Amino acid sequence: MSSLTLKQFQDQVSELLLRHRSLLDVLSKFQQTNAAANRSVVKSITECGCIGIQATKQAYHSEMTLDEAKDVLGNHVSGHLCEHCTEVVSAELGRNLFYMSALSNILEVDLEKVVENESKKCSTLGLFNMS
CA quadruple 3, 21, 32, 108: dihedral positive or negative? Answer: positive
Q: What is the pLDDT of residue 62?
A: 82
Instruction: Note the pLDDT of residue 61.
Output: 81
Q: Domain segments of the chain: what residues?
A: 24-107
> pLDDT band at 1, cuts 50/70/90?
very low
**Is pLDDT of 86 > 70?**
yes
pTM equals: 0.83
Count the Cβ atoms, other than its own, within 10 Å of residue 28: 13
What's the number of CA atoms in the CB half-sphere (13 Å) around residue 15?
5
- State the average pLDDT for the chain: 90
Torsion of CA 106, 26, 116, 121, to 10 degrees: 120
The string of pLDDT tens digits covering residues 29-74 is 999 999 999 999 999 999 999 999 998 888 888 888 878 888 888 8
